[in-house]
A and B are shown apart, each in its own frame.
Chain A
């Protein structure tokens, strides 16, 4: 049976101008069947924020679904005892998405270019490339098990 998502939405204090308008956190089980629902939930909440529009929706969908697939399959190796955490910080001009798994991490610099001639005709290897093309900034933590993706107001 598919495990449920755990969702929390917190409005930040308006007295603190440095804080995001809202923070959404979702705990996702390590099953690929959960990705579509998790992406839908987070995207709906993000689009209720200040930056919205059809292009933002699509960019969010691609970035989140690819980051979640990487975290669940490569990071947690679909281990049912492990979780993935999604945190979305909604600001007036940007959305910061963090996706963190419980795996050992990886070196993003070692991922080959998806557009190299032999890469185009391979089955895998496009996820991280698409994330880079859909968001304005991509950062990993030192361990390589947490990605931070920033979308700014178009």
Chain B
């Protein structure tokens, strides 16, 4: 998995997740978000356009990340999930915990 960042004019940090988010690498994403929070960033979009698969550990990491961001008064939105992954969010009711947009641009527009 690779993580690529871009910062928008309105201060939102977009993190593009490239590859599978799974038990073997979920800590990398948690650490990256923790670093950004420590640096003062509070608004995030996680772009999964390049992510074919997220396992239950990856889903759990997203729950913990969202909790930390919200505890700091921030907000996090998800974008670019493929149909299979959307299905996983619906099955696990995680679609009730996250704001999910079809594209990163739509997620950014919602801030």
Contacts and interface: CB of A to CB of B under 8 A. Distances in A.
A123 interface: yes
A123 B60 contact: yes
B63 A115 contact: no
Contact of B53 (A61, A120, A121): A61
A32 B23 contact: yes
Contact of B88 (A115, A124, A130): A130
Contacts of A66: 55-56
Dominant secondary structure at the B interface: helix
Interface string A112-128: 00110000111111110
A126 B59 contact: yes
A75 to B, nearest CB: 14
Contacts of A127: 55-57
A115 B92 contact: yes
B99 to A, nearest CB: 15
A120 B94 contact: yes
Interface residues of B, number: 22
Contacts of B57: 69, 124, 127
Dominant secondary structure at the A interface: helix
A66 B88 CA distance: 13
B48 to A, nearest CB: 15
A65 B64 contact: no
Interface string B17-35: 0001011100000000000
Interface in A51-87: 58, 61-62, 65-66, 69, 73
Nearest to B85: A58
Given A121-B97, A123-B61, A130 B23 contact: no
A69 B55 contact: yes
A126 B92 contact: yes
Contacts of B61: 123
B42 interface: no
B63 A123 contact: yes
Given A122-B60, A123-B61, A130-B91, A65 B55 contact: yes
19 contacts: A35-B24, A36-B20, A61-B53, A65-B22, A65-B53, A65-B55, A69-B23, A69-B55, A69-B56, A115-B92, A120-B96, A123-B64, A124-B56, A124-B60, A126-B92, A130-B56, A130-B88, A130-B91, A133-B91
Interface of A: 32-33, 35-36, 58, 61-62, 65-66, 69, 73, 114-115, 120-127, 129-130, 133
